Amino acid sequence: MPVLKGILGRKLGMTQIFTEDGRALAVTVLEAGPCVVTQQRTPNQDGYQSVQLGFGDVKPKHINRPLAGHFKRAGVEPRRTLAEFRLADLSGWDIGKEIKADLFSVGDRVDVTGTSKGKGFAGVMKRHGFHGAGASHGSMLHRKPASGGATDAARVFKGTKKPGHMGAVRTTVKSLRVLQVDAERNLLVLQGAVPGAPRGLVRITIPVTHPRKSGKLKVIT
């Protein structure tokens, strides 16, 4: 779905800040950019409309020759990560333009997409929130998933909740409020948690569906 604006960034970690009325807010600090526009895709040429952003420094010797030619054609320095954003309007997103954290402002609501932390192999209680069975009176189930489903099907239906690999999947947290913007250091402070571990790559977007603004909280800086 086309978005109004977006940027690539990196999760730095979580902390807390205080409002003027004494409330403590859990916040996440993100390094948002700087990104550079490396390519534009238009409906006439590509069938859809988007921009390609590059984020993160990388030594030229660590990229292959096709990517080196791609960056040379765009006239920009090589970037470690490339990602596309389908935008509703390409005006102001020229090739070579640098996108920084000041793309957002305090009070914006943003969606943050990242890769969640991997939990390894997990049982049904941890993975799906099963309550478990009795722990006494001869119960042999405890933390087991119990019934596997219908017996006449002679198979397990797709989507049945079972033990298995947990986490390490693409996850989006929606409508997080921007509390602070540090344009000089390219930092965003968002209220709440975002997916992934510190230093993990994230996509920060304002969607077209609900690009609302919320009232500014008075925080102690």
Dump pLDDT digits (tens) for 163-198.
999 999 999 999 999 999 998 999 999 999 999 999
Q: What is the pLDDT of residues 51-61, one digit of tens each?
A: 999 998 999 89
- Give the angle 185-191-193 at the CA atoms, nearest 5°: 95
CB-based contact 73:109 (threshold 8 Å): no
pLDDT at 221 (0 to 100): 62
| pLDDT surpassing 70 at residue 1 | no
User: CA-to-CA distance for 1 and 86, rounded, in angstroms?
Assistant: 7
- Residue at token pair 């030229």: 60
- DSSP class of residue 107 equals T
- pTM summary value: 0.83
What is the b/e burial string over 65-99, where b = at least 16 CB atoms within 10 angstroms of the residue's CB?
eebeebbeebebebbeebbebebeeeeebeeeeeb
pLDDT at 11 (0 to 100): 95
DSSP structure string for 176-208? EEEEEEETTTTEEEEES--SS-TT-EEEEEEES
User: CA-to-CA distance for 166 and 126, rounded, in angstroms?
Assistant: 9
| pLDDT surpassing 80 at residue 66 | yes
| pLDDT surpassing 80 at residue 89 | yes
pLDDT at 211 (0 to 100): 57
Domain with CATH 2.40.30.10 in the chain: 13-30+104-118+167-221
User: So what CATH class is 35-99?
Assistant: alpha beta
pLDDT at 15 (0 to 100): 94
Q: What is the pLDDT of residues 3-49, one digit of tens each?
A: 888 899 999 999 999 988 888 999 999 999 799 999 999 899 989 89
Please provide the size of the chain in residues.
221
Q: What is the pLDDT of residues 25-38, one digit of tens each?
A: 999 999 997 999 99
pLDDT at 146 (0 to 100): 80
Distance set, CA 188 to CA 6, 7, 9, 90, 108 (Å): 13, 11, 10, 24, 11
The share of the chain scoring above pLDDT 90, in percent, equals 58
For the segment 108-131, the average pLDDT, to the nearest whole number, is 94
Domain with CATH 3.30.160.810 in the chain: 35-99
Architecture per CATH, 13-30+104-118+167-221? Beta Barrel (2.40)
Q: Are strands 109-115 and 50-57 parallel, antiparallel or unpaired?
A: unpaired
